[in-house]
Each structure stands twice: as C-alpha cells, then as structure tokens.
Amino acid sequence: MADRDETRGLSTAARLRGGRRGLTLRMLGAELGLSTATISLALRDSPLVADATRLRVQALAAEAGYVANRSAASLRTARTNMVGVMVHDVINPYFAEIFRALEAALNERELAIMICNHADDIRRQRTFVDTLMQHRADGLIMCPAIGTDADDVARIVDSGLPFVMICREVADIAVPMVRGDDFAGGRALTRHLVAEGHRRIAFVGGRRATSAGRERHAGYVAALAEAGIEVDPLLDVPETMTQAAVREAATTLLALPSPPTALFGFNDLVASGLMSALRHAGLEPGRDVAVAGYDDTDGAAWSAPALTSVFNAAEEIGSLAASLLSAQIHGEPATPTRILIEPELRIRASTRFVPSA
C-alpha cells in the first residue's frame, strides 16, 4: 500500500484513469498482479485464461477506460477498419450521394470512413495518403487532385493499399476506376441545347486539368461542331468553381455584345449559382436564358424552374467503388478494371420553357 498516502479515497480505476492515455497493459497487470501476456489474452477473450481472471481484468480495463492500442495490434493483424475517401469538394451534394452509397455498401457501422477534402491541393492529398499508409488503413477511394500523376498513383498501388479511383482519371496508369462518361454527357446536353434552337451556348466551370473538365468540354465542342457552330472562346469560362467565381462569370457573359442564350454549368452547383446570377440581373432562368447543370443531384428536379441536368449515377459509382475496394481488401489483386457509366440527359423546364407552368 505504498501509494496509499497520495491517492487516499480514490478507487483503483480512478487512479489508473488519472494516468490518461498512458494506461498500458503493463499498468493493468501490475495493478492485478498478473503478467502483461495474461492481461492481453484476457482482453481478447482467450480460453487460456480462467473465467474469473478474465472477468476481473475486463472489469478493471472497462472501468479505467483502457483503449486497446490498435496501432500495435495492426502490426499483427491486417484490418484497421479505417477507409479513406478523398475528394476535392466535400460540400458538393454529388459527393454526398457517393459517400452514402459507399457507407451502405461497406457497412459503415464497423468501419470508420475518413473523408479528406483535398481541395485540389496535391500536398494535402499526399499528407492524407501518407497518413493512411502509415496507419495501415484498409483502403482508399480517391477522386485525385489536380497534379496527381502516374507515379503518385503507382506509389499507392505498389504499397499494397487497396485502392479505387473515382470521377477523375489519371493519364498513363491503369487502376481500378469508376466514373461517368463525361464526354457522352457533355455532348448529349449540348446537342439538346442546339436542338432547342440555341447557337450562343456558354460553358461555365470545370477544371481543364481534370478528365471530367476536359471531357465534358470536349463533348460540348463535338456537339457544336456537328451542328456547324463555331466555338466562341468568349463563351468558354473554365476553372470557375466557387460561387463567387460563377457570379463573376455570369456577369461578364451577360455583358457581352452578343450574350449567350443558354448556359451549360459544369455541375449543378455551378448551374444553381448561374440561376441566382440571372435573377440578380433581372432575368428569369428558363424563360429568358436557358440553364443546365450536370450530376442531377437531389433538388435539381425540384428547383424552380426545374433544372435540366445530366444524371451521373452517384449511387452506382459509390457502390461499384465499394465492391472493387472490398475485393482487394479480401485479398484479390488490384486489377485495372475501368468502369465507365453511361450518363442520362434529364430535360426539364430550365431549358424548355413552358409558359403555363
């Protein structure tokens, strides 16, 4: 009872709790007069430990707030129940739909899904990837940041970390990948706007250093070319992804001597900003200027006017990515499966004005 004086009145558990995160198997063992090995076995419900001892150990551990150090455990066992998901824009509802599907498919209750918002900062992406590797995460699903190259991706795959790429593609490397066919979607939407009689169609947003930005734009260019419409560089406003940038782009476009009659927003967030900007300028979206988005996120169909958009299969992308990841977690090799999902044009009032509505 050498420690009696300083801890008078405190229970054993409270005294151990006082040690905070330093609480170890050894401390529990010293307290109970048992070896560290016995404590460890008891906490893992080993039949090698007598029931009474096991219960005594577990009771004290629970009372003292002992947390197994998974870092050490993961040196022995493969699973850490930690999966990373990286995207460039966490507030885009399209990604929220993908997260939801991932969580459902991966059974999130037993898994900590750690989201990283890299905001297209390659250094931030690298920090996150390194942290996941160092902590031996079970897997990584990633929409790669601008600047990600084949070496960056090879480093992840070569480390053995189960890995799936979504939404954006990186040149010169084949890895498990799921995304929508952005070229087909961009072309379908632009063909629709041309068919509605538009010749001055602006393309707003999308980063050309990404496959999504390049391909939706290439689809737009292809559809204009088919119709014999020359691409006007004044109507091409890439890289505008924040709401502030979208407003500025809209203001500039509307001030042109020959302003656009239709606006193709790179995604629904951009389209929603464009609608606000039109109203701000005293123009009614749908009636005065056609507006369309991409992704067909929740709310597009219900906005006023209802937003024409390209359905981009968030749920399917999320659940396919989860399957590809699960297969690797269960030991299958990371074969370069490349899944391209056909998008679907959904025409609504924002590009087809109905006066009576």
User: Rounded to the nearest whole angstrom, what is the least distance from the CB of residue 215 to a copy of itself in the complex?
Assistant: 25
Nearer to a copy of itself, 68 or 195 (CB): 68
User: Rounded to the nearest whole angstrom, what is the least distance from the CB of residue 67 to a copy of itself in the complex?
Assistant: 5
CA angle 321, 323, 324 (to 5 degrees): 65
Nearer to a copy of itself, 24 or 323 (CB): 24
User: Rounded to the nearest whole angstrom, what is the least distance from the CB of residue 151 to a copy of itself in the complex?
Assistant: 11
User: Rounded to the nearest whole angstrom, what is the least distance from the CB of residue 133 to a copy of itself in the complex?
Assistant: 5
The single-letter code of the amino acid at 89 is D
**What residues make contact with a copy of itself under the rule CB under 8 A?**
17, 20-22, 65, 67-75, 80-82, 84, 90-93, 95-96, 99, 108-117, 123-124, 127-128, 130-136, 155, 158-161, 243-244, 247, 273, 276, 279-280, 298-299, 302-304
User: Rounded to the nearest whole angstrom, what is the least distance from the CB of residue 275 to a copy of itself in the complex?
Assistant: 8
Residue 177 · residue 338 · CB < 8 Å: yes
Region at 30 (left for phi over 0; alpha for psi -120 to 50; beta for the rest): alpha
Nearer to a copy of itself, 190 or 326 (CB): 326
- List all residues 6 or more positions away from 150 whose beta carbon is below 8 Å from its beta carbon: 170, 171, 172, 173
Nearer to a copy of itself, 116 or 271 (CB): 116
The single-letter code of the amino acid at 99 is F
Nearer to a copy of itself, 81 or 258 (CB): 81
What are the angstrom distances between the C-alpha of 19 and each of 51, 58, 71, 242?
27, 18, 19, 47
The single-letter code of the amino acid at 154 is A
Nearer to a copy of itself, 299 or 336 (CB): 299
**How many angstroms separate the CA atoms of 4 and 266, rounded?**
70
Neighbour order of strands in the sheet with 236-237 = 236-237, 201-204, 262-265, 290-292
- The pairing of strands 262-265 and 201-204 is parallel
User: Rounded to the nearest whole angstrom, what is the least distance from the CB of residue 200 to a copy of itself in the complex?
Assistant: 23
